[in-house]
Chains A and B, each alone.
Chain A
């Protein structure tokens, strides 16, 4: 059996977390490639529907950061 890998969808605020994710790259920190980022202008934009839709599309986890 192959090892299960989670699929994580993250909604990142353009002004903080998205910038932090960029800086993670600039600093060459390493993390597993299981995350797909959706950039949103502010976590204020986050709607519960987005999280539900992502889960319905097969995401194992939704991460909102801002």
Chain B
């Protein structure tokens, strides 16, 4: 240790350190322009000049490269130092009068105008760039020339072969002399570009050390070895100088890890189609033609434009934006993707709506499409709103070409309108709705694994095993199974895990490890002894908030017995030491001031448990996400805010009480309501995973709607496969089938339901831990198009029946017409029935096969053969099926005259009415839910306006309800084809098994509690609770009859009842009145 005086104060530094390093440690600011922590100091800029007194005389030295020695006295702020520094700045400013950093320094030192002759330079010859280049292991540039001729340059002033265009010189240049453009123009022969940020779709650059995106899990930076200079030259390693915990190890090697597994699930995803090859859209050259994925980033607050809707070329707010649909989808001309990518119509509408919401002016959004495919749940409504409420224009046309308008950044597009006219229109920006495709590396993986692919390069699966690949034990989910949206991908991922679970059920829990439980210390009645741990989070918090000050402040607060600050509170070693401190200091309450409880509360609660404390004796104070990160430019006030928040946290934690989490046995039995395909699949999956299952069906036989279906879109025989499934279910001794049975009552809650079922007047009670709702839907009985007036006018299911029965009369038909959207996409039923387009087209093909001379017409509004179903549509057109589009306002008209059927429809191309004589009309009638309000009440689950059950989350929880322990699948959720019903049946079982496999569940401690002595039995809590947690104690009970009680299992801890309780009898543990008031009272220090 070296001891010396710094501005009169005794300080210490390590042997070999320089003055500047020690001054920094003690918070003494010394200005410098040429210093860099990772580089050897050079004393070039002279700004860090300080006064050194060696006992006899004073002299000036540069702090950055003058080593410390015992007994020296340093003054960084004397008048002489100040004057000297001022002169240096004046000289530098004269040399480079337009450099902002020097102008700022000059202003700080009161320099108006330099007294010296001004030059037009912007380089101060600090040499930081050349030292950095050397550090990179390169030395492509150096200080060349002598005296006034000196400059930073490459040898002989020729563009360098050696320079690797890493940009390190530009990143450290204090004056802006070296820029990326200068590197490209004068220094390197290589291409100097930013490293494209994958997350920002290349619209922004990123560093070689990077976190892929702010919400990435794990949120740990990675080094991109392909661009990191260390892996090219062996130099650099600058990052290691900055990492406070020595976490960076450049010598880490890739490891091959061998895992022994029983099943594999493939979820490799997709890549967005690259439209560069479409020269007619000019995507490769024009910055204002972007893909939808790029547009997502433009709309995002964390994106390259900070969420401002501006176009890329000139950052001008666009007035007109066009979306082109089916770019890289439904196209065998410019690319080989014949399939529909399923998601693009919906995302284009969403982007257009959000763009309109972003723009504070009248933004014109136009979507150019072929068929609008909004076949998902509630999607049609969204489409209608986009059209009617948001005024988004939808134009049915495939745009021919895009031409940049010279002299502006605008774009002219050429297209043919619906009526056949050639049109042009000018837009500010074009968004290409690119499709989904399987990346080549995934195809290589599939080949390596030996699994079969479809023509569109997706994993080949069958309708009845929708997540099983062609190789046993390998399952697939997500976009590799076929282009799909989030809800479907979530369903499939659960289905894949259920499929793997069925295979591996015998191995369940064989590799789990039990955690040692530390006995809980009883703190009841003890005076609070609070420990406050303030986190620096590296520089994330400490870079803005003065952490030592906050820590010291915390020590002055009531009941605080211990304070400390940590570099990273979440690191394992800090966790261990925190647990030790809690034990050794006998702390009984803990406050951690760090990031957010949303991500880190469970971690610190674990630390409390490890120290033998109840995990609810804890409060987290958010001084990162809600303080240091959002008040970067205001360190003083950010520190004050941190102190306030810590004070509020401390006053709350003092009032925290240990809470109990009720443990609850989970009945290991399942109940599946509905014996259709999805219900049977669900029951079979539960049984195959080892759980007794009751399958209740109101009808006299199993099968549901599938009994009416002829074949699947993939050509499988539905009746054959259905018979196998029914046999599987009836023969499975873990499945108890109850036919002709309905539910008469349901009691209980997750883990412990008791349901009474009645069958032919006989009643039976079933106890079960979970329930799956698979009650299906039915086909609309049409009231239009002459249905019921002639036996040649059928519904799709009735035609299927004829096909199942191999009706020989079918092949004698000369003309057949299919009418789509019968009862769907109507004002009273504003949803798409999803399956009918594919179903009708498949049957149209079947009729064509029976009699190739038959005239087959499909009258439609939009053809919605999403995914690889599109091939059927192509095949039908090739087979001569005639597709005629009609609009809702101009529906086809059916006439029955003299025993003949005529149908009149206005042809969308010719614009004139066509009259077709036909022998068969098939109506694609809507799928209509049963609107089962009784069942909804039994399980306290909601129905939507259309009468379908409402899932927990439209995207992330499609196969479960918000009510714990109740799951959902099949048509009761939304119309869907067999493969999706099966996947959802498996998904519901999968979600159910996450509960069943636990055997016991713990409720949260943060639940409401009644003080029955105060309760006035008014019943507000009982009526207001969305989860039915409060109830009245039985009137005949010995204790507190008629008072409210809370079922902790059902309580979600929202506190609605507590806020509503008029008598103050209800308390929300963990967020009780006194606890929240204590925070409010601690708002200001005086309080």
How distant is A39 from chain B, measured CB to nearest CB, in Å?
7
Task: Give bound CA distance, A29 to B1006, whole Å.
Answer: 32
- Residues in B with CB closer than 8 Å to A33 are 627, 630-631, 634, 637-638, 640-641
Q: Which B1029-1069 residues sit within 8 Å CB-CB of chain A?
A: 1053-1056, 1058-1059, 1068
- Residues in B with CB closer than 8 Å to A39 are 597, 622
- Max chain B Cβ within 10 angstroms of own Cβ: one of A21, A27, A30, A32: A27
| Nearest-CB residue, chain B, relative to A46 | B1059
How distant is A4 from chain B, measured CB to nearest CB, in Å?
14
CB contact under 8 A between A41 and B598, given known A9-B1083, A26-B214, A26-B215: no
Q: Establish whether residues A53 and B1077, one from each chain, have CB atoms under 8 Å apart when the complex forms.
A: yes
- Residues in A with CB closer than 8 Å to B1073 are 47, 49
Q: Establish whether residues B598 and A40, one from each chain, have CB atoms under 8 Å apart when the complex forms.
A: no
Contact of A27 among B302, B626, B645, B1077 (CB under 8 A): B302
Q: Establish whether residues B1055 and A41, one from each chain, have CB atoms under 8 Å apart when the complex forms.
A: yes
| Nearest-CB residue, chain B, relative to A26 | B214
Task: Give bound CA distance, A40 to B1076, whole Å.
Answer: 8
Q: Establish whether residues B1068 and A45, one from each chain, have CB atoms under 8 Å apart when the complex forms.
A: yes
Interface size on A, residues (CB 8 A): 36
> What 1/0 mask marks residues of chain A from 30 to 57 whose CB sits below 8 Å from any chain B CB?
1111001111111011110110011001
CB contact under 8 A between A57 and B1080, given known A21-B625, A47-B1059: yes
Task: Give bound CA distance, A19 to B594, whole Å.
Answer: 15
- Residues in B with CB closer than 8 Å to A24 are 625-626, 630
Q: Establish whether residues B644 and A36, one from each chain, have CB atoms under 8 Å apart when the complex forms.
A: yes
Q: Which B583-617 residues sit within 8 Å CB-CB of chain A?
A: 596-599
Q: Establish whether residues A45 and B1079, one from each chain, have CB atoms under 8 Å apart when the complex forms.
A: no
How distant is B80 from chain A, measured CB to nearest CB, in Å?
36
How distant is B1002 from chain A, measured CB to nearest CB, in Å?
18
How distant is A3 from chain B, measured CB to nearest CB, in Å?
13
Q: Establish whether residues B1071 and A40, one from each chain, have CB atoms under 8 Å apart when the complex forms.
A: yes
Q: Establish whether residues A21 and B626, one from each chain, have CB atoms under 8 Å apart when the complex forms.
A: yes
Contact of B1083 among A14, A32, A45, A54 (CB under 8 A): A54
| Nearest-CB residue, chain B, relative to A19 | B598
How distant is B507 from chain A, measured CB to nearest CB, in Å?
36
Q: Establish whether residues A38 and B1055, one from each chain, have CB atoms under 8 Å apart when the complex forms.
A: no
Contact of A50 among B626, B634, B640, B1077 (CB under 8 A): B1077
Report if B112 contacts A (CB, 8 A). Answer: no
Q: Establish whether residues A37 and B622, one from each chain, have CB atoms under 8 Å apart when the complex forms.
A: yes
Q: Establish whether residues B632 and A28, one from each chain, have CB atoms under 8 Å apart when the complex forms.
A: yes
Report if B431 contacts A (CB, 8 A). Answer: no
Task: Give bound CA distance, A45 to B1066, whole Å.
Answer: 11
Q: Establish whether residues B1071 and A41, one from each chain, have CB atoms under 8 Å apart when the complex forms.
A: yes
Report if A25 contacts B (CB, 8 A). Answer: yes
How distant is A8 from chain B, measured CB to nearest CB, in Å?
10
Q: Establish whether residues A41 and B622, one from each chain, have CB atoms under 8 Å apart when the complex forms.
A: no
CB contact under 8 A between A27 and B214, given known A21-B626, A38-B1080, A41-B1071: yes
Task: Give bound CA distance, A59 to B1054, whole Å.
Answer: 25
Q: Which B456-511 residues sit within 8 Å CB-CB of chain A?
A: none
Report if B700 contacts A (CB, 8 A). Answer: no
Q: Establish whether residues A22 and B1080, one from each chain, have CB atoms under 8 Å apart when the complex forms.
A: no
Q: Establish whether residues B1058 and A25, one from each chain, have CB atoms under 8 Å apart when the complex forms.
A: no
Task: Give bound CA distance, A44 to B1054, whole Å.
Answer: 6
| Nearest-CB residue, chain B, relative to A53 | B1080
Contact of A25 among B597, B624, B1071, B1081 (CB under 8 A): B624
Task: Give bound CA distance, A18 to B595, whole Å.
Answer: 12
Q: Establish whether residues A30 and B632, one from each chain, have CB atoms under 8 Å apart when the complex forms.
A: yes
Contact of B630 among A29, A38, A40 (CB under 8 A): A29
Q: Establish whether residues B1077 and A45, one from each chain, have CB atoms under 8 Å apart when the complex forms.
A: no
| Nearest-CB residue, chain A, relative to B302 | A27
- Residues in B with CB closer than 8 Å to A50 are 1076-1077, 1080
Report if B648 contacts A (CB, 8 A). Answer: yes
Task: Give bound CA distance, A15 to B631, whole Å.
Answer: 23
- Residues in B with CB closer than 8 Å to A31 are 630-631
- Residues in B with CB closer than 8 Å to A29 are 301, 630
CB contact under 8 A between A36 and B627, given known A26-B215, A28-B632: no
How distant is A27 from chain B, measured CB to nearest CB, in Å?
4
Report if A58 contacts B (CB, 8 A). Answer: yes
Task: Give bound CA distance, A38 to B630, whole Å.
Answer: 17
- Residues in B with CB closer than 8 Å to A37 are 622, 626, 645
Q: Establish whether residues B630 and A57, one from each chain, have CB atoms under 8 Å apart when the complex forms.
A: no
- Residues in B with CB closer than 8 Å to A22 are 596, 598-599, 622, 625-626
Q: Establish whether residues B629 and A26, one from each chain, have CB atoms under 8 Å apart when the complex forms.
A: yes
Report if B218 contacts A (CB, 8 A). Answer: no
Task: Give bound CA distance, A38 to B1081, whole Å.
Answer: 12
Task: Give bound CA distance, A33 to B625, whole Å.
Answer: 12
How distant is A12 from chain B, measured CB to nearest CB, in Å?
9
Report if B1084 contacts A (CB, 8 A). Answer: yes
- Max chain A Cβ within 10 angstroms of own Cβ: one of B596, B626, B1087: B626
- Residues in A with CB closer than 8 Å to B1081 are 53, 57
How distant is A59 from chain B, measured CB to nearest CB, in Å?
7
Task: Give bound CA distance, A49 to B1064, whole Å.
Answer: 12
Q: Establish whether residues A42 and B1080, one from each chain, have CB atoms under 8 Å apart when the complex forms.
A: no
Q: Establish whether residues B1076 and A25, one from each chain, have CB atoms under 8 Å apart when the complex forms.
A: no
- Residues in B with CB closer than 8 Å to A38 are 648, 1076, 1079-1080
Q: Establish whether residues B627 and A18, one from each chain, have CB atoms under 8 Å apart when the complex forms.
A: no
How distant is A63 from chain B, measured CB to nearest CB, in Å?
13
- Residues in A with CB closer than 8 Å to B512 are none
Q: Establish whether residues A45 and B630, one from each chain, have CB atoms under 8 Å apart when the complex forms.
A: no
Q: Establish whether residues B629 and A25, one from each chain, have CB atoms under 8 Å apart when the complex forms.
A: yes
How distant is B307 from chain A, measured CB to nearest CB, in Å?
9
Report if B419 contacts A (CB, 8 A). Answer: no
Report if B633 contacts A (CB, 8 A). Answer: yes
Q: Establish whether residues B1056 and A44, one from each chain, have CB atoms under 8 Å apart when the complex forms.
A: yes
How distant is A50 from chain B, measured CB to nearest CB, in Å?
6
Task: Give bound CA distance, A57 to B1080, whole Å.
Answer: 7
Q: Establish whether residues A9 and B1080, one from each chain, have CB atoms under 8 Å apart when the complex forms.
A: yes
- Residues in A with CB closer than 8 Å to B1058 are 45, 47
Q: Establish whether residues A54 and B1080, one from each chain, have CB atoms under 8 Å apart when the complex forms.
A: yes
- Residues in A with CB closer than 8 Å to B1059 are 44-47
CB contact under 8 A between A25 and B1080, given known A39-B597, A41-B1071: no
> What 1/0 mask marks residues of chain B from 1005 to 1041 whose CB sits below 8 Å from any chain A CB?
0100000000000000000000000000000000000
Q: Which B282-308 residues sit within 8 Å CB-CB of chain A?
A: 301-302
Contact of B626 among A7, A25, A46 (CB under 8 A): A25
Q: Establish whether residues A30 and B633, one from each chain, have CB atoms under 8 Å apart when the complex forms.
A: yes
How distant is A2 from chain B, measured CB to nearest CB, in Å?
13
- Residues in B with CB closer than 8 Å to A57 are 1080-1081, 1083-1084, 1087
> What 1/0 mask marks residues of chain B from 639 to 657 whose CB sits below 8 Å from any chain A CB?
0110011001000000000
Q: Establish whether residues B214 and A42, one from each chain, have CB atoms under 8 Å apart when the complex forms.
A: no
Contact of B1071 among A7, A19, A45 (CB under 8 A): A45
Task: Give bound CA distance, A41 to B597, whole Å.
Answer: 12
Task: Give bound CA distance, A40 to B638, whole Å.
Answer: 22
| Nearest-CB residue, chain A, relative to B597 | A39
Task: Give bound CA distance, A33 to B645, whole Å.
Answer: 12
| Nearest-CB residue, chain A, relative to B1054 | A42
Q: Which B206-233 residues sit within 8 Å CB-CB of chain A?
A: 214-215
How distant is A66 from chain B, measured CB to nearest CB, in Å?
10
How distant is B860 from chain A, measured CB to nearest CB, in Å?
41
- Max chain A Cβ within 10 angstroms of own Cβ: one of B622, B630, B631, B1079: B630
Interface residues of B (CB under 8 A from A): 214-215, 301-302, 596-599, 622, 624-627, 629-634, 637-638, 640-641, 644-645, 648, 1006, 1053-1056, 1058-1059, 1068, 1070-1071, 1073, 1076-1077, 1079-1081, 1083-1084, 1087
Query: Which 3 A-B pairs give the minimum distances between C-beta atoms?
Result: A45-B1055, A44-B1056, A25-B625
7 contacts between A and B (CB under 8 A): A7-B1084, A24-B625, A29-B630, A33-B631, A37-B622, A37-B645, A57-B1080
Given contacts A38-B1079, A45-B1068, A49-B1077, 14 further A-B contacts (CB under 8 A): A7-B1083, A23-B215, A25-B626, A29-B301, A33-B631, A41-B1055, A41-B1068, A42-B1056, A44-B1054, A45-B1055, A45-B1058, A45-B1076, A46-B1059, A59-B1083
